[in-house]
Amino acid sequence: MTEIQEDIGTEPSIGRHSVGRRRFLGYLIGGTTVVAAAELGLLSGQAAAKIPSAPQVFDAYDLSDLLTHAAQPTSSLITVTINEDGTASFALPRAEVGQGITTAAAMIIAEELDLPLKKIDVTLAPARPELIWNQITGGSNTIHAMYTPIRVAAAVAKKTLLEAAAAQLGGVVDELETRDGVITDALGNSLTYGELTAQAASPDTKAVEVGLKDEATFTLLGKPTNRIDALDAVTGKKVYTTDLDVKGALPTMVCRAPTLNGKPTKVLNAAEVKAMPGVTHVAMVPTGVAVRARTFGQCIDGVRALRVDWEDGPVVGESDQDILSGVKAAELPMPALPNTPLAKTIAYDFTFWFRSNSPMDTNSAIADVRSDRAEIWSGLKNPIVTQQQIALELGLTPDKVKVNVMQAGGSFGRRLFFDGAMEAAQVSKAMGVPVKLMWHRSDDARVGRAHPLATSRVRAMHAAGEVLAFQQSHTAVEMDLRHGFGEIVTALAADLPAGLGNLGYAQTIFALTTGIPYDFGVLLQTLNETDTRFNTGAMRNVYSPDVRTANELVVDQLAKAMRKDPLAFRLEFCRNERVRGVLKKAREVAQWGKPMPAGTAQGIAVHTEYKGASACVVEIDCRPETVGRRVRDAVTGPRVMKATMVTDVGQVINPRGVEAQMQGAINDGIAMTLTSSLHLVDGHFEEASWDNYFYTRQWNTPPEIEVVIMDSAEPPGGVGEAGVAPTAAAVACAYARATGKVPTEFPINHRDPLAFEPKPRTPPIPPSPTDGLRWTY
């Protein structure tokens, strides 16, 4: 259930969102219909100038600001077009991977233009190099960065249409009313946007000054709204990359090495495999040996039949424990804190194992590479870097490589990379024909991107009811941020708040996403990275779920040492009004402190990031009858029976979308803490199936979830990732309270005996079963 709460009194705003009376400059683009435009960077650059000398950079300037700010100097135009059939179209320079941004963008346009939502057509823009860093979808920043520019473009369109209507109807603009795409004058004469668009068009591009609609008169923004792509999704019509038919692009799969990132050196039976039914081509590429066939089923058979000599991958022979030892060896010394009867220091060392960010829709891409040009289709969050890198690989200039952005079946960090698109381009080039490349599930889990293994050491010193120092030192396998965040940081180095510009990419992202929202005296958070041999990436947050889990567990221990209730303790030490607001609301809605049976407990955690704050309360059941539930080929274990998420994400565009994102984030957080990890054994990951990698399933999901969205006057913040860290942390805290043992490794079941029989590494993908008719129901 979603509930909209009263304003809870937030921190003084920095004024960027009070756009009501302000005037903005947009453009009417020369042409034959109304094409209205605005600069993407319109949000203005005040954030950097207003950094107070806070103890943590994070307090005033976070990843959202960085991405928004990065967009400005290089920003270009986004456009809203009024079509002759009365619809408006907008090409969103972002990726839709399930987070609902196309729906939110359509709602913003519908609101400003007074058009029904169903008349707005939002598509995904192909790579537009001129947008540079405006075309990266990451850090949950889309709506934060695009809200005002989209409104301005829509307002320019509306103003232009109104002026044309006034001329035609013989009145003045002020006497006209707009409603559902129809402009009506005082006498009741009316014209539709569709009828006006040709006439309203201007032959030349000109600047147009507009005011924006008064937010108090909004009828759509802020109302729970269903997704614009829902009908396509439930009828099977939504088109993902592998659903697209491109002439000649036949199914293609790759045979990979038995060790992580091993490389092929020789194919021993190419001719034999090429003669198999349906198979058209076999070709070696840097990552393996590709098979192209009439059907994917025949690709699977071909991949399984291949005999290949391999060069071992870089982690051959190594296992989890070896990688952990390496990370531990890279840990930097922490300043010693005293531990005396008066000043006590609480110390915990936590380990976070590798996790897979594989979505349902595996890495896939269509590539048609010719000698002088190439075209790519793929679900991409960073199409410009993809275009540049593929052009480089193919020896073409970027303008000869067209990169089309497809809808993707999930991302969770994965689609910031373009592993599938690059591989498809290499295969198409090697074979000389178009290919539709799809990764097998087992490859997507084993070889796809993983969230890096990390340790987090926390030291907290307290005396006389005060926390005097809180130190956290995070050490991790290197997070691959070479997909664009890095370049953003480089480009902005001179502009960043003091100190940030000197940090490496990873440290910057760390500093911007992992703030501690408590008054804990001397705060120190550091990040050190080591080991670059893995395919890593973010997983619905870069560092925060791990960092927050580690520090919220220690917060509970501080509360315990001071004999205080965990929630009351957090409120007492909280130094952020928005966090305080969500904490208080969570206390009430989740009935914090209610009696719970032995073996069960509540847990609370908060997180602030993406221009917002969230508090999560979970109720966990660790009783033997629950932990011991048996489900075939599954992990059961402790179950979160109820989760309450109170979130303040600033101004809410679509509460129904926010609720959905929070529900999903809760399931992610639960998996991170309780069930899901990759096991590196002898040079490769063991998990090759959804029945090996234990993401939350129906038997793990909380039977009850409640999401409360705070009413807020702050600008729209990020939603997609905001709920993951507080859930992961709250589940860990609840587990500690229910069992009396503070967990120090995540997920908690990582060292249990494997709950599945690992699939063979040669051939690298499992056979297709033949007994499907035995399982009908």
Residue ranges that bind ligand FES, judged by CB under 6 A: 98, 360, 409-410
**Residue 683 DSSP code:** T
Tally of CB atoms within 10 A around 704? 12
Distance CA 40, CA 44 (A): 10
Rounded-to-integer distance, Cα 4 and Cα 709, Å: 5
- Angle formed by the axes of helices 63-71 and 505-513, nearest 10°: 120
The verdict on 777 binding another protein (CB under 8 A) reads yes
Binding range to another protein, per CB under 8 A, among 79-87, 137-145, 199-207, 291-299 = 291-299
Q: Tell which one of 62, 112, 114, 361 touches another protein (CB under 8 A).
A: 361
Instruction: Rule CB under 8 A: choose which of 56, 331, 656, 744 binds another protein.
Output: 656
Segment holding 710, helix H or strand E: strand 704-711
- Is there binding between residue 251 and another protein (CB under 8 A)? yes
Binding partner of 269, given another protein, ligand FES, none, CB within 5-8 angstroms per partner class: none
Of the candidate spans 105-113, 186-194, 243-251, 420-428, the one that interacts with another protein by CB under 8 A turns out to be 243-251
- Within 43-102, which residues bind another protein (CB under 8 A)? 97-100
CB of 69 to another protein, least distance (A): 29
DSSP 56: S
* Closer residue to another protein in complex, CB, 61/610: 610
3-state secondary structure of 13: coil
Rounded to whole angstroms, the Cα distance separating 664 from 658 reads: 10
Instruction: Walk across the sheet containing 35-39 and list its strands.
Output: 120-124, 88-92, 77-82, 35-39, 23-29, 206-211
Contacted entry of another protein, ligand FES, none for residue 529, CB cut-off 5 to 8 Å set by kind: none
Per CB under 8 A, 372 contacts another protein:
no
Size of the chain in residues? 777
Asked if 776 touches another protein (CB under 8 A), the answer is yes
CB of 303 to ligand FES, least distance (A): 16
Least distance (Å) from ligand FES to the CB of residue 145?
24
The window from 128-136, 257-265, 358-366, 558-566 that contacts another protein (CB under 8 A) reads 358-366
Four-point Cα dihedral 692, 694, 695, 699, nearest 10 = 120
Query: What character string, x for contact with another protein (CB under 8 A) and - otherwise, covers 402-441?
Result: -----xxxxxx-------------------------x-xx
Name the binder of 186 from ligand FES, another protein, none, CB < 5-8 A by kind: none
- CB-CB neighbours of 660 under 10 Å: 18
Q: Alpha-carbon distance 386 to 392, whole Å?
A: 10
- Over the window 205 to 234, marking each residue x when it contacts another protein by CB under 8 A and - when it does not, the resulting string is ---------------------xx-xxxxxx
| Calpha distance 199→206 (Å, rounded) | 16
**Is 277 near another protein (CB under 8 A)?**
yes
Please work out the total of residues on this chain that contact another protein, with binding judged by CB under 8 A: 78
Binds another protein (CB under 8 A): choice among 55, 171, 278, 599: 278
Nearer to ligand FES, 275 or 360 (CB): 360
Question: Smallest distance from the beta carbon of 414 to ligand FES, in angstroms?
Answer: 12
Name the CA dihedral angle for 111, 115, 119, 121, rounded to a multiple of 10 degrees. -40
The residue written with tokens 């540079």 in the block is 132
Q: Are strands 435-438 and 401-405 parallel, antiparallel or unpaired?
A: unpaired
Please report whether residue 298 would count as binding another protein according to CB under 8 A.
yes
Min CB(306)–another protein separation in Å: 17
Question: Which member of 203, 498, 698, 740 binds another protein (CB under 8 A)?
Answer: 698
- Residue 775 interacting with another protein (CB under 8 A): yes
Q: Which of 234, 464 has the CB closer to another protein?
A: 234
319 interface partner picked from another protein, ligand FES, none, CB below 5 to 8 A per type: none
**Residue 175 Cα distances to 70, 172, 178, 195, 196, angstroms:** 42, 6, 10, 19, 17
Whichever of 242 and 386 has its CB closer to ligand FES, that residue is 242
Pick what 268 binds: ligand FES, another protein, none; C-beta below 5 to 8 Å, kind-dependent.
none
The sign of the CA dihedral 47, 48, 54, 60 is: positive
- DSSP for 506-563 reads HHHHHHHH----B--SEEEEEEEEE---S-B--SSSSSHHHHHHHHHHHHHHHHHHTT
Question: Looking at beta carbons only, is 63 or 293 nearer to another protein?
Answer: 293
Question: Judged by CB, which is closer to ligand FES: 441, or 474?
Answer: 441
Find out whether 113 and 158 touch, Cβ atoms under 8 Å. Answer: yes
706: number of Cβ within 10 Å: 20
Least distance CB 98 / ligand FES (angstroms): 5
